[in-house]
A and B are shown apart, each in its own frame.
Chain A
Amino acid sequence: EIVMTQSPATLSLSPGERATLSCRASQSVRSNLAWFQQKPGQAPRLLIYAASDRATGVPARFSGSGSGTEFTLTISSLQSEDFAVYFCQHYENWFGAFGQGTKVEIK
């Protein structure tokens, strides 16, 4: 079973700052990696698939990179609506695991 580990658990930043979130897979998932944003009381929203492709309607300030076992989600300049929890998930096989999440909070 592939385990996904995200770091840090919490990221405290101010609006306008750059956010860098990390996700590590316990074995290679090639580029089969998605990133989701979740706000309280809402369903996850797909941001990135195939490690670096933005989903429809996702602002350009969100970018994904990496392959194999190391992945990064970058938010170039945080907007107020970006403070949320972010999950990575692999789909190297069905029922791909999610990471435990990174909370991006206002500093």
Chain B
Amino acid sequence: QVTLRVSGPALVKPTETLTLSCDFSGFSLKTNGMCVSWLRQSPGKSLEWLALIDWDFVPHYNTSLKTRLTLSKDTSDNKVVLTMTDLDPDDTATYFCARMFRAAYLDYWAQGALVAVSS
């Protein structure tokens, strides 16, 4: 059974750094074609890609946010960690991680974590 879970702070101050973890089970990131992806969704809006890490543990970033993001695999084989620097109120959103299957479509999603950026 594939599951993913996002954890992290619910409130972050402007200019601070956000660190989110995605714990997953039921699959191996070492499997060819398997990726873990990060996306976010502002209230009432569509989904925006942030980054993904592939089966060789190589991170790939949305170019629009690349300078602010770092994605890595934790020492645990079943966790990836996303950091975003210099938070702004416009970064207030629900953050999701999801499995990308066959390096193609997102088939399993975490519940998502709402992060508010406010002083």
Contacts and interface: CB of A to CB of B under 8 A. Distances in A.
Interface of A: 32, 34, 36, 42-46, 49-50, 55, 87, 89, 91, 94-95, 98-101
A9 to B, nearest CB: 11
A32 B106 CA distance: 12
Contacts of B18: none
A98 B109 contact: no
Contact of B62 (A46, A55, A95): A95
Given A42-B111, A43-B96, A91 B105 contact: yes
Contact of A34 (B46, B96, B106): B106
Contact of B47 (A32, A45, A87): A87
Given A34-B105, A46-B105, A87 B112 contact: no
A34 to B, nearest CB: 5
A46 to B, nearest CB: 5
Interface residues of B, number: 18
Contacts, number: 45
A99 B46 contact: yes
Contacts of A99: 46
Nearest to A45: B109
Contact of B111 (A43, A46, A98): A43
B110 interface: yes
Contacts of A95: 49, 52, 60, 62
B106 A46 contact: yes
Nearest to A49: B105
